[in-house]
Amino acid sequence: MDLNYSVEEQAFRAEVQEFLSQKLPKEMSDAIRVGRELGKEGHEKWHAILNEQGWLAPNWPKEFGGCEWNAVQRHIFEEECCRAHAPRIVPFGLAMLAPVLQKFGSKEQQDHYLPRILSGEDWWCQGYSEPGAGSDLASLKTRAVREGDHYVVNGQKTWTTLGQHANWIFCLVRTDPDAKQQSGISFLLIDMDTPGIEVRPIILLDGTHEVNEVWFTDVKVPVENLVGEENKGWTYAKYLLTHERTNIAGVGFSRAGLDAVKRMAGSQMHRGKPLSENPHFAARVARAEIDLMAMSTTNLRIISRAASGQAPGVESSMLKVKGTEIRQEINDLARRAAGAYAMPFVSEALEGGNEPAMGPEGSAATAPQYFNNRKLSIFGGSNEIQKNIIAKVKLGGGA
Amino acid sequence: MDLNYSVEEQAFRAEVQEFLSQKLPKEMSDAIRVGRELGKEGHEKWHAILNEQGWLAPNWPKEFGGCEWNAVQRHIFEEECCRAHAPRIVPFGLAMLAPVLQKFGSKEQQDHYLPRILSGEDWWCQGYSEPGAGSDLASLKTRAVREGDHYVVNGQKTWTTLGQHANWIFCLVRTDPDAKQQSGISFLLIDMDTPGIEVRPIILLDGTHEVNEVWFTDVKVPVENLVGEENKGWTYAKYLLTHERTNIAGVGFSRAGLDAVKRMAGSQMHRGKPLSENPHFAARVARAEIDLMAMSTTNLRIISRAASGQAPGVESSMLKVKGTEIRQEINDLARRAAGAYAMPFVSEALEGGNEPAMGPEGSAATAPQYFNNRKLSIFGGSNEIQKNIIAKVKLGGGA
Amino acid sequence: MNFDLTDERQMLQDSLRRFLRDNQEALSASTRLGNSDNTLGFDAEIWAKLAELGVIGALFSEEDGGFGGAGFDLTTVFEELGRAGAVEPLLDTAILGGGLIAALGTEVQKELVEQVIGGEVHLALAHGEPNSRYDLAQVETTVIHEGDELVLTGRKAVVVNAEAADYLIVSARETGVANDEEGISLFLVPRDSAGLSLRGYPLMAGGRAAEVDLDGLRLSAAARLGAAGAGFAALKRASNRAEVALVAETLGAMEVATDLTREYLLTRQQFGRPIGSFQALQHRMATLLIELEQARSAVINAAGHLEATAAEQALHVAAARNLVGRAGRLVAEESIQLHGGIAMTEEYELAHIAKRIVMAEHRFGDTDTQLERFIDQSAA
Amino acid sequence: MNFDLTDERQMLQDSLRRFLRDNQEALSASTRLGNSDNTLGFDAEIWAKLAELGVIGALFSEEDGGFGGAGFDLTTVFEELGRAGAVEPLLDTAILGGGLIAALGTEVQKELVEQVIGGEVHLALAHGEPNSRYDLAQVETTVIHEGDELVLTGRKAVVVNAEAADYLIVSARETGVANDEEGISLFLVPRDSAGLSLRGYPLMAGGRAAEVDLDGLRLSAAARLGAAGAGFAALKRASNRAEVALVAETLGAMEVATDLTREYLLTRQQFGRPIGSFQALQHRMATLLIELEQARSAVINAAGHLEATAAEQALHVAAARNLVGRAGRLVAEESIQLHGGIAMTEEYELAHIAKRIVMAEHRFGDTDTQLERFIDQSAA
């Protein structure tokens, strides 16, 4: 038992800190700190900065231009990025599709798509969820029918995050309608410029355009855009979902969020004293912090096991549940800290326009983030699904 | 909408208060206040005092010697008894068996048993639960076989409260083994002195002997001890369970418990101030009190509807769940208030012996009560069963 | 003891519920986020019809020209507004603005109450400040006497309905230091007065508010509402009434949230069966229904004590707001969770309802602040 | 970073777990409520064997004659004691008593540590008082100097293991007022000293304690442990170590509670199927398992910082005790609830385990007190 980082790990952390202090643009970290959105250009700019440093793909093997960092290094990198208020990297190409292509894609697909992901030439989005399918992925209905050297795709995907910026989408489609459930599904790469694709915005309850519906009407997709074998898509999808689960605990986000809450509570007066000294508010903050300290160690325990080659099992589900509970609690604390100034909804201020926000720094984003982050316990396998998984492993019972 | 009691109701309350101040023995209220047990004699003494006043049977019709009070009057009586730290009336004969006899019993049974319940000559206990049956009453196994003018009973009952004091037990027994589930059950009155009955104590986790196992080996029960018709026992049992549900919210107990917590917290110093002024403790007390204030009104709403003839439906289940949650929370607060003095387990002090209790008044009983009252959410239809009922009514789904 | 509505209130409830249901579309259009073309923050036609229906009058006593005004009148109206997710500013124009003028105004000033009841005039209370948080006595805006004139300087924060208001009721400190209950005066100020400027914006849960700058606003003594320096008691009374209205509104919204969730659980299929057949969800739904009844009782307690002593009012209002705050958060969050993704979309009714529930906590004090008030009041 | 036990600790864990499992019956007999014939409060033979196994020595550093003594040694031992539901007073004799003598004692006094490690001597810390609640600096017991003699007068509350102890370590105030950290002295006092009387009783969760009356107890200056008036820092250090041991013990008990519950859910049938197939219960079980992992991490954090600065120690100890207190209560209550009636009976293992979990909160400070300490430490 040793809670300290090794000398090498400490050196790595220092290197990351140095990079961030040099290369992370101040206007970008300022925006992230107060909860402003970056927009497409902001994301692309940070993507390019990381690519120049060679740090864009922490989990890729070196042969594909990645860092090949181990789990502890990745954790340190994520932790420092959060602490420095660096933007989040859009994960769909880098963290989700790429591992699938690297393991199951053809040489041609690897050579073509992977460099374009690093260069930022392609912006990928994910076509998994469908209306009515929710957490029950296996029931998907989008059809792909082979006609000569093309598939013809018809159907609808939903909850497609940042699909409005994407030029490519990776999709799960049903290629064998007679197969049971998870069989008969294939994994297709589709150019968003193909005729018959329509992207319709879904406005979320905080007013943001973050997710979309994607409609496919007789969309022709060349057969060479199939990944791996036909009807084996479910295998690749599961592999991808495992990769989606890295940093599932969101420790860095929670840590940054809690720091923001403390800053705001220190500046807000309540009954003649800073709110941070109010025992009721302090108790809420302390409980969240204590929970986070423990979860951070749970996360490290799992990471440390992963670094030594053991695969995380049911622990991922536990981290997902606890991690989202803590993040949502911190979002709740932030809106409380903002007081009446949680009420204004000044979308220009949130989108980085000229309109200044009302109230203390960061208060404008508190209520939108509180509502937006209700998604954390719904998307990516709802917390109910995670508890089903835990029960299945530990009790052997069905749902 | 009017939250005030009528003039008549206020006069009734004054009458109850006057009676309690005159007739409730001080050593008895002192014992209840600090959580000491009364023992059989104490219960019998209070039973006799109420009987003399004619107030022993609030819910009985006048023809049987009862008060025939309406729901509001009963509520006022219960509230004042709790406030005055009067002992709880042992309910098995008075509140549970009697309504069944009054509705389904023969004239002979009514004439014989009801006066003996009032006089205290008979102490009844309940033979419903069986090992392995729990909340699933319909699966009971105790058999009664008709042989001439007797039934011969074999089987085992459990969780029989205060069975060690009782001379009679009313039992659900299976008379038709081939009938499905709830059919084939009969309702028998059994003299505890009959050969073949053995009462074995179950010691609860707080060290108390409160419940028992009752074993029946070839116990001969005269057929005239059958209530109503053979194989119709389930109907009577359900009727009884409805009556068991009066005062299900336990508002009076919670109110008295909360007062005790406040007294103790006022006397205990924490960091140089009374514990009652500590914001964290005060917050817990305040939340419990706020919840109790609301539940008290929910209870009155239902009582007021019952008084005007409307039957309580799913609301009973809601009151059961919330009522037990609040009582258990108050038990938790009490052990917290007692600090280190929650640790001693001086059974002599709890049983009213000469050994004085350690620590502040009432502290000796806090931990035992905390553990003992875990039963509130288990017995009498567990809170899970209550939630199943609520869901069934509101969602129409099965368990 | 009687927990039934009087016939009058039952009629009011029925007609208001029917009206709001019939006008759901217009209401929805005015309540959605980012509806920035509507700088009124609500639907003017609906407002006129509410006045016509007598809904505004029901919030005032007969003495004040209305035909209600008791705690249960307020809760009857606001529970319905909550059910409809309406953002129409009855709280601001009628309960706060109208209530303060009725309580403190001269005969001349009180003519405004009649116009409020008629739906012709809008009001806003410009009281909270950037540093006041939820403390009613924290007033830093100053009054300086210059000859016959009074000069007000300061900033008022998140003044709901300010842009639509014909008059603002502005609080300012005449004597004492920032936190004194003594020394706070109220002024009735036309919104277009020189020296008063607004910066308006939409609110997270619908409606609009503004930051109000008072930059040497010059008033005559006739603009005063009530006696100099004696505004606090009336402010406290008005905020108690507003808080009772607010918990009733939240209760109505909670009813709708649980109804929508119940229906969704019954209809939505997953893994081949309605999700309402999953026991884990059933038990959570049962918990919501239990908390809904707790909230209903808390609202009744607060409304029933609104005519009681100041101490009892304060105790029951704080209790209700704390409980409804906790139960409301639970209902809002669980309703969204039990729905899943659909509830995250702005166009689904629950999204707006959940925002109404949660954001109500940010007016007059959140659950912790209410708990502190309850503790103080219990100890007093 | 490394979360594996060292080989030595792994061996200690294995052998202790095996020993406790093999002696389950003797352990159970000594732990049950109302076992009033045993005024020792535990099993003497087990104690001797624990010493033989080196379990007591593992709680002391090599410097002090042991072969362990670090945070993770404590947690390794106490997690196993917690799993077994053992009430043997290693906390009192070894961590508190032995720890204080090792930290402050003269060479002569330190000979007792050797005897503690050998299992020959028992100790108890007589520090808490009827009015001190969980405040370590609150000492009202007085010391008066009469010639060469020191005279102690006061009362010590709930002194665990007092009756079995050969020596009590008694705290008393030499200077200052009740709440000062300065001025507290510690004394090493034979239990059978004149002027010291005990009133013993069993404890709710097993074991025994006593009220200790000091009625003009006369001591020589040689009885002092450490410098006059300077006992507080050592007391704080000893209580930090004891609290780390305590959270580890609770963690072990939580493991058993969740294991028993899991097994019960898998075997108990109701409505014709194992109750573990009911989703509502499955999800609650999942929550318990999540909180168990949180508790495990909190224990690791506290143990891993037991050699850090006083401030870091205090922060992590308070954090762990608060979290384990909350999670422990949840696990204890839910385990009982998920079992139903059977868990209410004294003879079922869970009853005792649940009491160990819950009653641990009453030593050194409950969850709220720990939260206060965490807040103070965070602000410092």
**SS3 label, residue A238:** helix
Question: How many other β-carbons are positioned within 10 Å of the β-carbon of residue A15?
Answer: 14
DSSP 8-state code for residue C40: T
Question: How many other β-carbons are positioned within 10 Å of the β-carbon of residue D38?
Answer: 15
Q: In whole angstroms, what is the distance from residue A219 CA to residue B369 CA? A: 69
Q: Does B397 touch chain C (CB under 8 A)?
A: yes
Which of C277, C279, C281, C337 would best serve as a mutation to test chain D binding (most D beta carbons within 10 A)?
Answer: C279
Which pLDDT does position B398 carry in this prediction? 41
Which pLDDT does position D25 carry in this prediction? 87
Which pLDDT does position B182 carry in this prediction? 77
Task: Find out whether D356 and D85 touch, Cβ atoms under 8 Å.
Answer: yes
Mean pLDDT of B138-159: 93
For residues B129 and A339, the model is more confident at A339
pLDDT category at B246 given cuts 50, 70, 90 is: low
- A373 to chain C: nearest residue by CA? C344
Which pLDDT does position B399 carry in this prediction? 38
Mean pLDDT of A182-211: 94
CATH class of the structural domain C233-379: mainly alpha
Task: Find out whether B201 and B164 touch, Cβ atoms under 8 Å.
Answer: yes
Which pLDDT does position A177 carry in this prediction? 86
Q: Is the model's pLDDT at A59 over the cut of 50?
A: yes
Q: For strand A124-127 and strand A168-174, is the pairing parallel, antiparallel, or unpaired?
A: parallel
Question: Which one of C5, C265, C319 has the shortest CB-CB distance to B293?
Answer: C319
Q: Is the model's pLDDT at A245 over the cut of 80?
A: no
Distance from CA of C36 to the nearest CA of D (A): 43
* Closest among A133, A175, A179 to A154, alpha carbons compared: A175
Cβ separation D304–A321 shorter than 8 A: no
Q: In whole angstroms, what is the distance from residue B325 CA to residue B343 CA? A: 23
Cβ separation A298–D282 shorter than 8 A: no
Per-residue model confidence as pLDDT tens digits over B219-241 = 999 999 999 999 999 999 888 87
A124-236 under CATH 2.40.110.10, yes or no: yes
Mean pLDDT of A12-35: 95
Q: Does D204 touch chain B (CB under 8 A)?
A: yes
Q: Which of these ranges, A86-90, C34-38, C306-310, has the smallest mean pLDDT?
A: C34-38
Structure tokens at B380: 């009498």
Distance from CA of D286 to the nearest CA of A (A): 6
Q: Does C267 touch chain A (CB under 8 A)?
A: no
Q: Does B187 touch chain D (CB under 8 A)?
A: no
Which of B136, B209, B384, B388 would best serve as a mutation to test chain D binding (most D beta carbons within 10 A)?
Answer: B384
Chain C residues lying within 8 Å of B12, measured CB to CB: none
- D280 to chain C: nearest residue by CA? C280
Chain D residues lying within 8 Å of B336, measured CB to CB: 366, 368
pLDDT category at A399 given cuts 50, 70, 90 is: very low
User: Which pTM was predicted?
Assistant: 0.96
Q: Does D211 touch chain B (CB under 8 A)?
A: yes
Per-residue model confidence as pLDDT tens digits over C70-96 = 999 999 999 999 999 999 999 999 999
* Closest among D314, D321, D194, D186 to D245, alpha carbons compared: D321
Q: How far, rounded to the nearest angstrom, does the alpha carbon of residue B120 sit from its chain's CA centroid? A: 18
For residues A129 and A352, the model is more confident at A129
Catalytic residue list of A? 244
Q: In whole angstroms, what is the distance from residue D99 CA to residue D237 CA? A: 9
Per-residue model confidence as pLDDT tens digits over B177-236 = 888 777 899 999 999 999 999 999 999 999 899 999 999 999 999 999 999 999 999 999
- Domains in chain B: boundaries: 7-89, 124-236, 245-395
Q: In whole angstroms, what is the distance from residue D57 CA to residue D77 CA? A: 11
Structure tokens at C126: 């410009």
For residues B241 and C42, the model is more confident at C42
Residue type, A259: D
Distance from CA of C305 to the nearest CA of B (A): 9
Residue type, A135: S
Q: Is the model's pLDDT at C157 over the cut of 90?
A: yes
Name, of A121-135, D41-55, D265-279, the range with top average pLDDT. D41-55
Which pLDDT does position A246 carry in this prediction? 63
Task: Find out whether A118 and A54 touch, Cβ atoms under 8 Å.
Answer: no
Which pLDDT does position C34 carry in this prediction? 54
Q: Is the model's pLDDT at D287 over the cut of 70?
A: yes
Question: How many other β-carbons are positioned within 10 Å of the β-carbon of residue C73?
Answer: 25
CATH class of the structural domain B245-395: mainly alpha
**ipTM > 0.85 for the complex:** yes
pLDDT category at C243 given cuts 50, 70, 90 is: very high
C124-227 under CATH 3.40.640.10, yes or no: no
Mean pLDDT of A66-95: 93
pLDDT category at C334 given cuts 50, 70, 90 is: very high
Per-residue model confidence as pLDDT tens digits over B85-110 = 999 999 999 999 999 999 999 999 99
Question: Which one of A132, A343, A387 has the shortest CB-CB distance to C359?
Answer: A343
Please, which residues 338-377 of chain C have a Cβ atom closer than 8 Å to chain B?
371, 374-375
- Domains in chain D: boundaries: 7-121, 124-227, 233-379
pLDDT category at B247 given cuts 50, 70, 90 is: confident
- Phi, then psi, of C75 in degrees rounded to 5: -70, -35
Distance from CA of A351 to the nearest CA of C (A): 13
DSSP 8-state code for residue D2: B
Which pLDDT does position B116 carry in this prediction? 97
Chain B residues lying within 8 Å of C266, measured CB to CB: 395-396
Q: Is the model's pLDDT at D33 over the cut of 60?
A: no
Q: In whole angstroms, what is the distance from residue B236 CA to residue B393 CA? A: 22
Sign of the Cα torsion C315, C316, C319, C321 reads negative
**SS3 label, residue D144:** strand
- Phi, then psi, of B198 in degrees rounded to 5: -130, 130
Residue-wise burial string across A253-263, b where 16 or more C-beta atoms lie within 10 A, e elsewhere: bbbbbbebbbb
Mean pLDDT of D85-106: 97
Task: Find out whether B240 and B228 touch, Cβ atoms under 8 Å.
Answer: no
The rounded percent of chain D whose pLDDT value lies above 70 is 98
Task: Report the topology of domain D7-121.
Answer: Butyryl-Coa Dehydrogenase, subunit A; domain 1 (1.10.540)
Residue D168's region, left for phi above 0, alpha for psi from -120 to 50, else beta, is beta
Q: Does D290 touch chain A (CB under 8 A)?
A: yes
Query: CB-hemisphere CA count at 13 Å for A230?
Result: 13
Which pLDDT does position B137 carry in this prediction? 65
Residue from B244, B315, B348, B384 carrying the catalytic annotation: B244
Please, which residues 259-288 of chain A have a Cβ atom closer than 8 Å to chain D?
277, 279, 282-283, 286-287
Which pLDDT does position A347 carry in this prediction? 79
Per-residue model confidence as pLDDT tens digits over C139-155 = 999 999 999 999 999 99
Chain A residues lying within 8 Å of C347, measured CB to CB: 203
Per-residue model confidence as pLDDT tens digits over A131-182 = 876 656 667 899 999 999 999 999 999 999 999 999 999 999 999 988 877 7
Q: Does A271 touch chain B (CB under 8 A)?
A: no
Mean pLDDT of C2-18: 95
Rg for chain C, CA atoms, rounded: 21
